[in-house]
């Protein structure tokens, strides 16, 4: 699944366009490498999202094309959530 779509489906980012912009600006990393919006993600990948002073690190647990609100929280595990 594409990175920008995963961020929206998992509800880590509310809008896909915002997820795409974060990726385009180099604010999203997968396993330590800068992710483009079309970068494919897999289970057990580590994703780091930087939004201004807010940094979220999450481990991907499940990749699915659609998810309701209850299912989306099970798609990832927050490893750290830091505001500097």
pLDDT tens across 3-44, in order?
999 999 999 999 999 999 999 999 999 999 999 999 999 999
Mean pLDDT within 47-65: 95
First to last CA, the chain: 31
What's 80's DSSP letter?
E
Please give the mean pLDDT across all residues of the chain.
94
- Give the 3-state secondary structure of 18-41: HHHHHHHCCCEEECCEECCCCCEC
Portion of the chain with pLDDT greater than 90, in percent: 93
Residue 84's pLDDT band (boundaries 50, 70, 90)?
confident
């Amino acid at each position: 699944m594409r990175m920008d779509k995963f961020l929206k489906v998992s509800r880590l980012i509310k809008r896909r366009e915002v997820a795409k912009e974060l990726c385009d600006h180099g604010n999203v990393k997968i396993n330590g490498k800068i992710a483009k919006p079309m970068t494919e993600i897999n289970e057990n990948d580590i994703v780091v999202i930087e939004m201004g002073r807010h940094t979220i690190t999450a481990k991907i647990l499940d990749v699915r094309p659609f998810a309701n609100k209850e299912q989306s929280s099970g798609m990832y595990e927050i490893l750290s959530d830091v505001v500097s």
